[in-house]
Amino acid sequence: MKIPSTLNMISDLIAIPSISCNDPLKDQSNQTVIDLLATWCNELGFKCEIMPIPNYSNKFNLIATLGIGNDGLVLAGHTDTVPYDNWQFDPFKLTEQDDRLYGLGTSDMKAFFALALTAVEQVLANGIQLNHPITILATANEETNMAGAKALNSNLRAKYALIGEPTGLKPIRMHKGIMMDSICLHGQSGHSSNPCLGNNALEGMYQVIGELLKWREQLQVKHNNSAFQIPVPTMNLGHIHGGDSPNRICADCELYVDLRPLPGMNLTELRSTLHQLVKNTLQNSGLDIKFKVLFDGIPAMETPNDAEIVTITERLTNQPSGAVAYATEAPYLQALGMQTIVLGPGDIEQAHQPDEFIATNRLQPMIDILTQLIVQCNQ
């Protein structure tokens, strides 16, 4: 049983580019990161399953399990990073300066794996008998479409899950969901001098926008959760394009909508309400309506306040659990039956930023939290 030091593991993970990007030219495989994690997990006695992601030839999840049973603890993270630009430091070389470790994926969230493995190594070195299994879960494509988390199935069974996303060592039990859709209206072009010659899609979209804003108001009256900084669900109209010339009737108009529901709001229902609202608004307009899914979405997540994983992590961190505005893989682990908490050593302010870093004084506290969590989930 021999794995490298925590710092060397962080440095090795940072050195392997594993960028996820919707631009295929920038998108990279995560296989080398997965293989390296599997090597270390093997050293510690884990049984490793490398799981290919459907529809991708070069993306994988690692499910590494120590022990047997379906009542264990999953320590989960994603192996990919976002792309980088405008870095002063080398993004792929771990640089220690001013009590910070700089590198792409330090906070979000490769360092977490090194801390999790160090914690497991310490537990084993202390001769603690594991009554319940520990699983290291390393996923692909969290930063783009969650393909790794979505590919997980009932082979992965556990009682508890901790996701080490950057939360500044605070337990997070709630986040909002996301979905993004496009609404396309098609009418008829014609000379602007005679409205009878065409059917104006832009004017149809104007009506749709009016109804969308009314719907948003209703949603915000109906749904409110004070744990969130923005306590209501949000809807953003982010892009509109229609027509070409002032003297032509606009034949086509497209609008992009981003919806961020609170826990308890269902993505499928929201999407069908959205579609129905647009259809009702334009029912006598003669305009063709098409909907495109820009991002099928991530559900909102909420782990009950009295769940054991919440109580344990609140005690270990000495902090109340809270809510964040960004989405994680938590809903997918929850759907597999795990009590899920998001708790990691990085800060979200550093994630996706040039010169991303993790403060060195976050490392040992996170190792301690994980070590004690393993012990407490083992009872």
**Token pair 């001098």 is at which residue?**
193
In DSSP terms, which residues pair with 214 in a beta bridge?
Answer: none
Residue nearest to Zn ion (CB): 108
Quote the CA–CA distance of 101 and 104 in Å, as a whole number: 10
Nearer to Zn ion, 165 or 355 (CB): 165
Q: Which is nearer to Zn ion, 108 or 181 (CB)?
A: 108
142 is annotated as an active-site residue: yes
Q: Of the candidates 108, 252, 329, 355, which one interacts with Zn ion according to CB under 5 A? A: 108
If the CB atoms of residues 109 and 156 are measured against Zn ion, the closer one turns out to be 109
| Pair 211, 155: CB distance under 8 Å | no
Minimum distance between the CB of residue 151 and Zn ion, rounded to whole angstroms? 17
Binding track over 164-183 against Zn ion, x by CB under 5 A: -x------------------
* Ranges within 268-287 binding Zn ion (CB under 5 A): none
* CB of 375 vs Zn ion, minimal distance in Å: 26
Sites for Zn ion among residues 304-333 (CB under 5 A): none
Nearer to Zn ion, 105 or 133 (CB): 105
Shortest Å distance, C-beta 292 to Zn ion: 26
Min CB(193)–Zn ion separation in Å: 55
Binding to Zn ion in span 137-166, by CB under 5 A:
165
**How many whole angstroms separate alpha carbon 37 and alpha carbon 9?**
9
Count of chain residues binding Zn ion (CB under 5 A): 3
Report the site for Zn ion in 69-98 (rule: CB under 5 A). Answer: none
Using left for φ > 0, alpha for ψ between -120 and 50, and beta otherwise, residue 266 falls in beta
Closest distance to Zn ion from the beta carbon of 354 (Å): 16
Minimum CB–partner distance for residue 13 and Zn ion (Å): 14
The one catalytic residue among 80, 165, 181, 355: 80
Distance in Å, CB of 79 to Zn ion, minimum: 10
Nearest to 20 by CA among 75, 54, 60: 60
Does 347 participate in binding Zn ion (rule CB under 5 A)?
A: no
- For the record, the structure tokens of 64 come out as 């590494």
Interatomic CA distance for residues 163 and 340, integer angstroms:
8
The window from 4-12, 45-53, 83-91, 109-117 that contacts Zn ion (CB under 5 A) reads 109-117
Phi and psi for 130 in degrees, rounded to 5? -90, 115
Which residue out of 121, 142, 203, 347 is catalytically annotated?
142
Residues that bind Zn ion (CB under 5 A): 108-109, 165
Which positions are catalytic? 80, 142
